[in-house]
Structure 1
Amino acid sequence: MAKNKLLLDVDCGVDDAQALMMALAVPNVQVLGITCCHGNTEIDNVCKNVLRVLKLCQRSEIPVYRGAGTSLLGDQLTATHYHGKDGLGDVPDPNAPGLEHIQVEHAVNAMIRKATEHAGQVSLVATGPLTNVALAFKMDPTFPSKLRHLYIMGGNMESRGNAKICSEFNFVADPEAAYIVLNHFACPTYIATWEYCLRHALPWEFFKEWVNQGTEKAHFMKMITAHSEKFSKTKQSSKELYFEPGFVSCDSFAMAAAIDESVVTDYMQCGVSVELQGSLTRGMMVLDTLNLLKKQNRAFVMTKCDIEKFKQLMMSALK
C-alpha cells in the first residue's frame, strides 16, 4: 500500500504535539519533514518541542526546519496562558535535544523542495499560523499546485473568536498569511475551524483514560497537558471559550482528516477569505455562502466528525 506522504507545519504547543504523535503512530503515514513556525510559543521553543516529541517517539531521523519567527508584518502573538511559556506546559526535560539538531536549510526552502520532489503526492498539514505556507507561495507560485492536499487547523465559521473577539488564534496571529493561502491555493483545501473542534470536544473521562494508559508517551502527555487541563477546567475560561465542558485537541482534528479522510463525515464547500481591515473582525475567516466572491477554488470546511474513529487515532497516539 502506498505511503500517505505528509509535510507538517507546526507551532508546537500541546495540541501540535498531540497531532504529531498521532501521525507518527500510523504505519501508513510517512512524515517527510516538519517545519516550525512562530505561534503558541517563540520559534526556538517550537523547534525544541518538535525535537523533544520526535525523541520520545524514537523518530529523530525526521528532519526539522526552523521557519518564520514573526508574522509577515513582524508581529508576534503567543498563547502561553494555555500552552505554558515553553509551549509544552512548562515541564522541563534536562535530556531534551538541543537546537543543533535543527536542519540548516530554512523551513520555507525545505517545504518547496520536498513538494517539488514529491509533486502531486504530498499533503501539507498546517497547525499553526500560516506564515511559512504563505512565504512558500510567494517564493514559488507553483508551490500550491505541487501539493496533493492542504489541511489547515484555523479560522472560524461563526465569527467566534478565541484570541480576539471574532478571530481564531492561528489566523489572527498572521491574518495576511492566512489571506494569501486562502486566496491563492488551488489544491484541495480542508479546514478544521475553531467551532468544528469545539463541537467535537471529548469528555474529560476519555481524557483521563487517554493519559493513564501506562506508557511512556501517555506519561509525557499527562505531564505536558496538566497546565492546559487546569486552564480548560476553570469556570471562567470554560464559559468564555467553550460551548460545553470537554477536552479539545484542535490540531489533532486537522491531522486526523489528513490521516484518514473518513474521520470527517460532512463538509461545507464554499469560497473562503480572511478579513484584514475590521477593527473588531481582523483575522476572522469569511465564508462566502452566497458565492459573491465568485471564487474558483472552494474550500472544504469540516462540519461533522466520526468521533469514534477520532478517539481511536487519539488512543493509538499514546500506545
Structure 2
Amino acid sequence: MSNKKEMANLEEKLLLIDVDCGTDDAQAIMMALAAPNVKILGITCVTGNTSLDNVCKNVLRVLKVCKRLDIPVYRGLGTPILGERLHAPYCHGEDGLGDINDPDAPGLELLQNEHAVCAMIRLATEYNHQITLVATGPLTNLAMAVRMDLTFPNKLKSLYIMGGNMESRGNTTPCGEFNFVADPEGAYIVLNDFHCPTYIATWEHTCRFKLPWEWYDQWVNKGTEKADFIKKIFALSLQFCRYDEADKGLIGEPGFLPCDSYAMAAAIDESIITSYIECAVTVETTGKFTRGMMVLDMIDYLKNKNKAFVINGCDLDKFTMLMEASIE
C-alpha cells in the first residue's frame, strides 16, 4: 500500500497548531499540511525560538512554500508569563529559519486580527471535543487560554506537546528542555490544569529516535521546492549538529533530530506511539538548576487525578513515512 493510501485510511483530524516557529516547527507544520487525513483550523504563534514577529513571519513563509496561505495565522503572546524572553539563535538563527535571505516572504498584514488566545477559545467552543491541539513551543498561549476560560481544556479532544524531559536531562539548562525553560509557569499551568488526554514527546524521547544522516542527505536532495526549503533552513543548525554527532553526551545514536515533528506525527497517527508512561506530571518553577524541569510523579506523591501519557516508544517506519511525505 502506498504512503498516501495508508495516510488516507487514518481517522480525519482537526488540528490547531501552536508554534514558536523555528526550523523544527516549520518541518512539523509541513508534515501536517502533507497528511491527507488532517485539516488545520489555524496556526497560533508564541515567542520562543525567535521573536514573536519572526515567528509569525516564519509561519507565513512555510505556508507560502506549501501553497496554503488560506490557513489562518494568529499572533499570540510575545513574553512568557514570568521572567525574560529566551530565544535560540544558536540553533535556529536570529530569524528562526536559519537566517536565509527571503526577500519575497509574506508580510504580517496577512495575519488575522483576532488574538491567538481568543481564537483558541473560539475554535475549541465551535468544534467542541473535536480539536487536537499540537503545541511545539513554550506553552504560554495555552496557559493564558485556560486562565481566560477554565472550560477550554475540556473542549479539546486531545493535546500533544513537544517539550519537557523525563530523566532530568536538559538541552538549555542541566535539567531543562528549551520550551519548558522558556516559560516554566506556562508549562506548570498547562500540565496541572488541562484535563484532556495529554501526550508529551520529551527531549529524551526525540533524541532516542534520531534519523540517520544518510537518510537526511537523500531526503533534502529530492529536488522538490519543499525539500530545497528544508535544506536551506536547516543548514545553519547542521553546522554544529553534525559536528557534535560523535559527542558521547548526546542521548541515543547520532543523527538528524526534528524534535517537534515527533509530537506532530503522534497527533496525526497515534499508532506511531508504541509505548508510553502514564503518570501525573508537573513542572519545577524554582531552583537554581531545576527551574523548568518536568517532574514525573511515579509514586503518586502529588495525588493528581490528571495523568499524562509521556511517550517513550516510536514506530520509526511510520514516522519516516510522514517525514518523506512532507517534502513531496
Pairwise same-fold verdict (TM > 0.5): yes
CA distance in 1, matches of 2:223, 2:125: 41
**Alignment correspondent of 1:318:** 327
CA distance in 2, matches of 1:163, 1:265: 28
CA distance in 1, matches of 2:271, 2:37: 15
Write the mapping of 1:50-199 to structure 2, written as runs, cut at 5 A.
50-199=59-208
* Counterpart residue identity of residue 293, structure 2: M
Asked whether the equivalents of residues 269 and 299 of structure 1 are also in contact (C-alpha less than 8 Å), the reply is: yes
CA distance in 2, matches of 1:301, 1:132: 21
Report deviation, 1:242: 4.3
Report deviation, 1:278: 1.4
Report deviation, 1:229: 1.1
TM-score, normalised with respect to structure 2? 0.95
* Counterpart residue identity of residue 29, structure 1: V
CA distance in 2, matches of 1:238, 1:15: 21
Instruction: Answer yes or no: is 1:213 the counterpart of 2:222.
Output: yes
Report deviation, 1:272: 0.1
Of residues 296, 313, 316, the one that matches 1:307 is 316
**Alignment correspondent of 2:4:** none
CA distance in 1, matches of 2:201, 2:211: 16
Report deviation, 1:245: 1.4
Asked whether the equivalents of residues 45 and 56 of structure 2 are also in contact (C-alpha less than 8 Å), the reply is: yes
Structure 1 counterpart SS, 2:120: helix
Q: Percent identity?
A: 63
**Alignment correspondent of 2:265:** 256
**Alignment correspondent of 1:233:** 242
Instruction: Answer yes or no: is 1:266 the counterpart of 2:278.
Output: no
Instruction: Answer yes or no: is 1:275 the counterpart of 2:284.
Output: yes
* Unmatched segments (≥5 aa) in structure 1: none
**Alignment correspondent of 1:286:** 295
Structure 2 counterpart SS, 1:235: coil
Instruction: Answer yes or no: is 1:24 the counterpart of 2:33.
Output: yes
Report deviation, 1:27: 1.1
Structure 1 counterpart SS, 2:74: strand
Report deviation, 1:243: 3.6
* Counterpart residue identity of residue 231, structure 1: F
CA distance in 2, matches of 1:246, 1:160: 18
CA distance in 2, matches of 1:314, 1:209: 12
Per-residue CA distance 1:89-127 (angstroms, 9 max, x = gap): 000211110111111110000010001000100010000
Report deviation, 1:288: 0.2
Q: 1:237 to 1:136 in 2, by over 3 A?
A: farther
**Alignment correspondent of 2:18:** 9
* Counterpart residue identity of residue 317, structure 2: E
Report the count of equivalent residues: 319
Structure 2 counterpart SS, 1:266: strand
CA distance in 1, matches of 2:262, 2:151: 27
Structure 2 counterpart SS, 1:309: helix
Of residues 48, 55, 58, the one that matches 1:46 is 55
Structure 1 counterpart SS, 2:306: coil
* Counterpart residue identity of residue 282, structure 2: S
TM-score, normalised with respect to structure 1? 0.98
Asked whether the equivalents of residues 246 and 254 of structure 2 are also in contact (C-alpha less than 8 Å), the reply is: no
Q: What stretches of structure 1 move > 4 A for 4+ residues in a row?
A: 236-242
Structure 1 counterpart SS, 2:175: coil
Per-residue CA distance 1:265-291 (angstroms, 9 max, x = gap): 101000000001111100000000011
CA distance in 1, matches of 2:205, 2:95: 27
Instruction: Answer yes or no: is 1:37 the counterpart of 2:37.
Output: no
CA distance in 2, matches of 1:154, 1:244: 20
Asked whether the equivalents of residues 281 and 297 of structure 2 are also in contact (C-alpha less than 8 Å), the reply is: yes
Per-residue CA distance 1:227-261 (angstroms, 9 max, x = gap): 11112012389455444311001100000000000
Structure 2 counterpart SS, 1:278: coil
* Counterpart residue identity of residue 49, structure 1: N
Asked whether the equivalents of residues 272 and 285 of structure 1 are also in contact (C-alpha less than 8 Å), the reply is: yes
Q: 1:311 to 1:94 in 2, by over 3 A?
A: same
Asked whether the equivalents of residues 111 and 136 of structure 1 are also in contact (C-alpha less than 8 Å), the reply is: yes
Structure 2 counterpart SS, 1:224: helix
* Unmatched segments (≥5 aa) in structure 2: 1-8
